[in-house]
Amino acid sequence: MSSSIRQFAYSLILLASTMILTACGGGGGDSTPPANASEVASDTQANNSPEIGRVLTDIRNIAYIAGESTDSDAQSDSIEFAVNAEVIDQDGFDDLKYIDITQVDDDWWWTLLGLPNDENRNECRIEQSDIFYCTFSSSIRPHSIKLTNWKIVAEDMAGNVTEKQFQFAGFDGETAVGNDFVYSPKYSGNRTNGLPAMESLSAERNGLSAEISEATETFRITFEATDTRIKNYYVDLWAFVEDEFNQEAGRWVRAGYASVNRTSIASSPVVVGTQTIVDLSWSDISFLPGYRPLDIVGIRLNVTDEYIEVEPDYFWSHQIGLSEFVFFN
């Protein structure tokens, strides 16, 4: 891959790696019901208020390659966060008007479900379920995140509003007692009562590297973690799809992944302060339709704290370090 393509690729990787929505400020968006609100059958009768169930969160520290451009907001943010919330309306999904996340102290909000006339209304909904999940960043706190005083607000077409307070956990799902915020190495403010984010691996600091072996049908990944809070890791694999008419253009695609429970990863656990070498077998990788091992040109290795079983057979990690992107040697 030419150096010009690589430079172009870095920004695309960062934009494509997660669904990132930047915060809006000023206390919320338009709350006017759509013109056809009266056509919702349940609103002509007794209407049930939305119910907010389980709320899961994680905080992500993102590493960037030295020398990368920081022209865009997505590239300059080193802290992102995810919210996974269950919101149920007994009168049906179409009766939900919006779902917002609010940081009360900052009077800053993000949207999990847009208004009915919003073309991106369902961007965070997981298929046809009652689960809404997105990753966000904040333009006013690009390198830190407050842990407390958050709430989810859901409103239905009849104007019934339900709120639920929540907070972000520290490491291993524990309440971060004595800590008010989590910060990345880029944070330059007062760190009193702050908690350092999970380490994000880099080639320079952690010796992160990757190479391909067609003979053994593996991807060898090498790194040395220094953060004692790291318990697990998983791998995202990326392909670059060139433009048919312009080889200097194209797009990055997350073409596969290897989760923490795959044999290659489980047999090569993280030992902090010691070099970890994992020969990731191609058979341990879940490839997206249309992609094969030789389409992969680079990886991102993500480290996490302990996975917590939040319900039977459903596990969640609360702190994540996303490594810089690494091309195969």
Percent of the chain scoring above 70 in pLDDT: 82
pLDDT at residue 117, rounded to an integer: 94
Phi, psi of 18 (to 5 degrees): -145, 160
Q: What is the pLDDT of residue 250?
A: 82
pLDDT tens for each residue of 309-322:
998 989 999 999 99
Of 143, 173, 196, at which residue does a domain stop?
A: 196
Mark whether 183 and 233 lie in a shared domain.
Answer: no
Where a domain ends, among 164, 196, 228? 196
> Domain total for the chain?
2
Q: What is the mean pLDDT of residues 269-276?
A: 95
Q: What pLDDT does residue 244 have? A: 73
**DSSP character for 115?**
-
Cβ atoms of 137 and 79 within 8 Å: the answer is yes
Same domain, 234 and 322: yes
Q: Mark whether 164 and 42 lie in a shared domain.
A: yes
Is the per-residue pLDDT at 160 higher than 80?
A: yes
Query: Which structural domain, as residue segments, surrounds residue 244?
Result: 203-327
Whole-structure pTM value = 0.84
Confidence of residue 65 (pLDDT cuts 50, 70, 90): low
**Residue among 253, 246, 251, 277 nearest 264 (CA):** 277
Which residue type is seen at 224? E
Q: What pLDDT is stored for residue 77 in this prediction?
A: 85
Q: What pLDDT is attached to residue 251?
A: 86
Lowest-pLDDT range, 8-12, 195-199, 219-223, 289-293?
A: 8-12
Rounded distance between C-alpha atoms, residue 322 and residue 137, angstroms: 14
| 77 and 222 inside one domain | no
For residues 179 and 208, state if they share a domain: no
Q: Say what the pLDDT of residue 27 is.
A: 39
Tokens of 76: 């300059």
Specify whether 151 is located in the same domain as 54. yes
pLDDT for residue 40: 37
Percentage of the residues of the chain whose pLDDT score is greater than 90:
76
At 9 the pLDDT is 37
Distances (CA, A) of 299 to 127, 212, 252, 295, 311: 27, 11, 11, 12, 30
241 vs 89, residue with greater confidence: 89
Query: In this structure, are 150 and 28 located in the same domain?
Result: yes
* pLDDT tens string 89-125: 999 999 999 999 999 999 999 999 999 999 999 999 9
- Which of 62-66, 80-84, 323-327 is least confident? 62-66
- Give long-range contacts, CB 8 A cutoff, 24+ apart: 235-238: 235/265, 235/280, 235/299, 235/300, 235/301, 235/302, 236/17, 236/299, 236/300, 236/302, 237/285, 237/296, 237/298, 237/299, 238/13, 238/296, 238/297, 238/298, 238/299, 238/300, 238/325
Rounded average pLDDT over 150-159 = 97
Q: What is the mean pLDDT of residues 38-55?
A: 70
Question: Which amino acid, 315?
Answer: F
Based on the domain organization, do 122 and 262 belong to the same domain? no
- pLDDT of residue 273 exceeding 50, the answer is yes
Integer Cα distance of 78 and 73 in angstroms: 10
pLDDT over threshold 70, residue 49: yes
207 and 105 together in one domain = no
Of residues 51 and 23, which shows the higher confidence score?
51
Domain final position from 148, 175, 196: 196
Asked whether residue 175 falls in the same domain as residue 220, the answer is no
Interatomic CA distance for residues 199 and 62, integer angstroms: 9
Residues 22 and 146 in one domain: yes
**What's the pLDDT score for residue 3?**
39
Same domain as 192, residue 214: no
Of the candidates 94, 109, 102, the residue with the CA atom closest to the CA atom of residue 156: 94
8 A C-beta contact, residue 235 and residue 258: yes
Please write the tens of the pLDDT for every residue from 214-236. Answer: 999 999 999 999 999 999 999 99
In the predicted model, what is the mean pLDDT of residues 274-280? 97
Query: Which residue, 139, 132, 126, 127, is CA-closest to 100?
Result: 132
Give buried/exposed letters for 267-278 (b at 16+ CB in 10 A, else e): eeebeeeeebeb
pLDDT for position 51: 98
Least confident window among 8-12, 52-56, 265-269: 8-12
The pLDDT value recorded for residue 247 is 67
Residue 243 pLDDT class (50, 70, 90 cuts)? confident
